[in-house]
């Protein structure tokens, strides 16, 4: 699965921002046809995204296109405009029911077969951002073409009538519900956007807290947000070294016939081993493990 620590949006009708995005070394680039684009500009966005997929070299960045919600009336033209140019994935916003994923999955599979591409080579990421979406997480998370669930904080707050605050306590239940659903089905969990893009200190804190909760990445809207978010979702050298020590000492203790043991004055047993293995997996996904840290 592609590493998606930072997932950057830009309006699909903004060619300048699309060409800027491919210079940033960002994990995922999501060209938008939904809320970042005015109703009167949907066709310009479709055409510009198709052109970008056809003509630009995205390097290592993943190429994603966000369609309008299934049921909005825009979604069919959106997906049909971009599929012939093989995006790496389609992002479906305001996702509430598994049948909306199935709708996209069938259209994608037909395109894969028509163009002779491997089936499932185009992935689906969904944004859950309504009360109904949160209630249906279990059914949503089990779809086989799904890679990730993205949590949309602003739309969710609007959906339940919450007032947004700086520390986002009003979103905690829904964020943790998304993380649990993703963990249960082996999906990536991608956290809220920090819309105050000039406040990088607040971004750093919010990103670190999201990573602590268990998110694997975060949505962003501005180039200045790339570095702090990538840093927060990459395990630190100390965390990697500690995880390696746990894995090594755990093995030795198992050989001695002990399930639990002490390391630096703290108890280590199976759940801590599993957590250490997760840290090493994330380090590897971020390209950090081979350097022998």
Among 164, 222, 278, 284, binds ligand COA (CB under 6 A): 222
> Looking at 15-23, 71-79, 142-150, 278-286, which segment touches ligand COA (CB under 6 A)?
15-23
Decide if residue 191 touches ligand COA (CB under 6 A): no
Contacts (CB under 6 A) with ligand COA, residues 31-50: 32, 35-36
At closest approach, how far in Å is the CB of 6 from Mg ion?
A: 17
User: How far, in Å, are 9, 11, 13, 67, 115 from residue 49 at the CA level?
Assistant: 12, 10, 8, 11, 19
Q: Which DSSP helix (H) or strand (E) runs through 231?
A: helix 226-232
Where are any strands of DSSP class E within the chain? 6-11, 28-32, 62-66, 89-92, 123-128, 146-151, 188-191, 217-220, 261-263, 266-268
Contact partner at residue 214 from ligand COA, Mg ion, none, CB < 5 to 8 Å by partner kind: none
**Which residue is associated with the tokens 């239940």?**
173
User: How far, in Å, are 4, 150, 184 from residue 177 at the CA level?
Assistant: 20, 12, 11
Among 155, 176, 208, 281, binds Mg ion (CB under 5 A): 155
Give the residue with the Cβ less far from ligand COA, 151 or 250: 151
Please tell me the chain's helix, strand, coil percentages from 3-state DSSP, rounded to the nearest 5.
Answer: 50, 15, 35
Decide if residue 17 touches ligand COA (CB under 6 A): yes
Distance of CA 113 to the CA centre of its chain: 26
> Looking at 10-18, 105-113, 234-242, 251-259, which segment touches ligand COA (CB under 6 A)?
10-18
Decide if residue 78 touches ligand COA (CB under 6 A): no
Binding residues for Mg ion, rule CB under 5 A, total: 2
At closest approach, how far in Å is the CB of 110 from Mg ion?
A: 27
State both tokens at 106. Answer: 């069938």
- Cβ(209)–Cβ(192) under 8 Å? no
State both tokens at 180. Answer: 């649990």
The strand pair at 89-92 and 62-66 is best described as parallel
| Residue 39 DSSP symbol | G
Contact partner at residue 17 from ligand COA, Mg ion, none, CB < 5 to 8 Å by partner kind: ligand COA
Give the residue with the Cβ less far from ligand COA, 38 or 110: 38
Decide if residue 193 touches ligand COA (CB under 6 A): yes
Decide if residue 152 touches Mg ion (CB under 5 A): yes
Decide if residue 98 touches ligand COA (CB under 6 A): no
Contact partner at residue 155 from Mg ion, ligand COA, none, CB < 5 to 8 Å by partner kind: Mg ion
Distance of CA 250 to the CA centre of its chain: 32
Q: Which residues bind Mg ion (CB under 5 A)?
A: 152, 155
């Amino acid at each position: 699965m592609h590493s998606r620590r930072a997932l950057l949006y830009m309006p699909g009708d903004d060619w300048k921002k699309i060409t800027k995005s491919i210079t940033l070394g960002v994990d995922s680039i999501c060209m938008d046809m939904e809320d970042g684009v005015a109703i009167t500009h949907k066709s310009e966005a479709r055409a510009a995204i198709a052109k970008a997929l056809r003509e630009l070299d995205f390097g290592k960045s993943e190429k994603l296109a966000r369609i309008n919600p299934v049921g909005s009336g825009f979604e069919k033209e959106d997906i049909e405009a971009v599929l012939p140019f093989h995006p790496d994935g389609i992002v479906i916003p305001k996702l509430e029911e598994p049948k909306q994923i199935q709708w996209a999955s069938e259209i994608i599979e037909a395109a894969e077969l028509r163009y002779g591409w491997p089936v499932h080579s185009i992935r689906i990421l969904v944004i859950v951002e309504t009360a109904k979406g949160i209630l249906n997480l279990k059914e949503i998370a089990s779809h086989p073409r799904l890679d990730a669930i993205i949590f949309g904080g602003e739309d969710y707050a609007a959906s339940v009538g919450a007032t947004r605050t700086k520390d986002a306590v009003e979103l905690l239940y829904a964020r943790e519900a998304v993380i649990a659903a993703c963990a249960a089905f082996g999906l990536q969990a991608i956290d809220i956007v920090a819309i105050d893009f000039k406040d990088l200190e607040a971004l750093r804190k919010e990103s670190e807290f999201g990573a602590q909760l268990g998110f694997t990445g975060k949505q962003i809207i501005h180039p200045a947000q790339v570095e702090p978010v990538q840093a927060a979702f990459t395990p630190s050298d100390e965390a990697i070294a500690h995880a390696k020590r746990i894995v090594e000492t755990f093995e030795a203790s198992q050989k001695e016939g002990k399930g639990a043991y002490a390391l630096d004055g703290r108890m280590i047993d199976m759940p801590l081993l599993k957590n250490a293995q997760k840290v090493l997996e994330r380090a590897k996904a971020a390209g950090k493990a081979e350097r022998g840290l």
